[in-house]
Amino acid sequence: MALDKFMVILDPTSEQQPAFERALASCHMTGARLHVYACLGTGQADQTSPSAVDKFQALFNGCVDRARNEGIEVTGELEWAADWRMAAVEAAARSSASMIFKHYTPHSDVEREIRTTYDWTLLRLAPCPVLMIKNRRDWKNRRVLAAVCPDASSEAHQKLNNQIISFAQRFSDAYGSEAHIISAFEDLRHQPRVDTIAESCGIAEEFVHVVKGRPADAIRETAEDIGADLILIGTVGRSGIRGTIVGNTSERLLDHTPSDVLVLN
């Protein structure tokens, strides 16, 4: 999938919209079109009172107008729904978005362990990668760190690895970024080979990082070491109790890195 249409989810609870700023800048860098989306929650007085609606409508219109005035091909969609997360998933499919931009909402490790968080539905069910914006700084270092699973024994993990590698390459081409690959492992008997990973990814061995440790910790520390502005990681959708008890690498990483995080499922 080409990076040719971005969807940004505006936050109706905030006057600051860092995801919009990042999406707008990305459109200028890549030439992509922009779909500005927002969902107001039905039954929530703080979002649906006449004064709140009028205020947010003005902010929403201002974002659309700003993008248009800056020469971006833009569309806007503002709707009401009880579950904004599923509404956003459906909107991304309708708009044929190639990437979703959303501002990150912080959660503690305990919160992510005991209940599904606001990010859970979006990260697992979105029809395209989701970029969680952690800050408003520029991607000054132009480095992306893509995490691949070293023991991709299942078909789902093999497919996800291929998607991550392919997307990292496309992302680097589109943004002029320097792509790095990390493979974290915990068992020395299954230590990945740097040369094998480099060959499969089509990059130099110096950009491959094989690190012993828990995946979330290894990825975070490597991102800090190389000055990665963006971490690219995958998540495999789950059902049943494994899907309810959240706490996989992507969600743990979100809360412990200053880098933006791009999640593929």
Residue pair 175/141 in contact (Cβ under 8 Å)? The answer is no
Predicted pLDDT at 152: 61
**Whole-number Å distance between alpha carbons of 198 and 227:** 20
Tell me: the pLDDT tens digits for 197-208?
999 888 999 999
Q: How many CB atoms lie within 10 A of CB 51?
A: 7
Question: Quick check: 247 pLDDT over 60?
Answer: no
Question: Quick check: 110 pLDDT over 90?
Answer: no
Residue scoring higher pLDDT (241 or 48) = 48
Tokens of 213: 């440790």
Q: What is the mean pLDDT of the chain?
A: 85
Is the domain defined by 5-103 classed in CATH 3.10.20.30?
Answer: no
Res. 72 pLDDT band, cuts 50 70 90? very high
Question: Quick check: 243 pLDDT over 50?
Answer: no
Class assignment of domain 143-264?
Answer: alpha beta
Topology alike, domains 5-103 and 143-264: yes
Least confident of 12-16, 17-21, 74-78: 12-16
Highest mean pLDDT (candidates 9-18, 89-98, 140-149, 227-236): 89-98
Res. 211 pLDDT band, cuts 50 70 90? very high
11, with CB counted inside 10 A (0-12, 13-18, 19+), is middle
Least confident of 45-49, 125-129, 261-265: 45-49
Res. 75 pLDDT band, cuts 50 70 90? very high
Q: How far is Cα of residue 221 from the mean position of the Cα atoms in its chain?
A: 19
Res. 88 pLDDT band, cuts 50 70 90? very high
Kindly state the average pLDDT of the residues 48-69.
92
Tell me: the pLDDT tens digits for 174-197?
888 899 999 999 988 889 999 999
Predicted pLDDT at 245: 34
Domain boundaries, the chain: 5-103, 143-264
Predicted pLDDT at 1: 62
Residue scoring higher pLDDT (155 or 147) = 147
Q: How many CB atoms lie within 10 A of CB 57?
A: 14
Predicted pLDDT at 135: 67
Tell me: the pLDDT tens digits for 117-140?
667 778 888 999 999 998 666 777
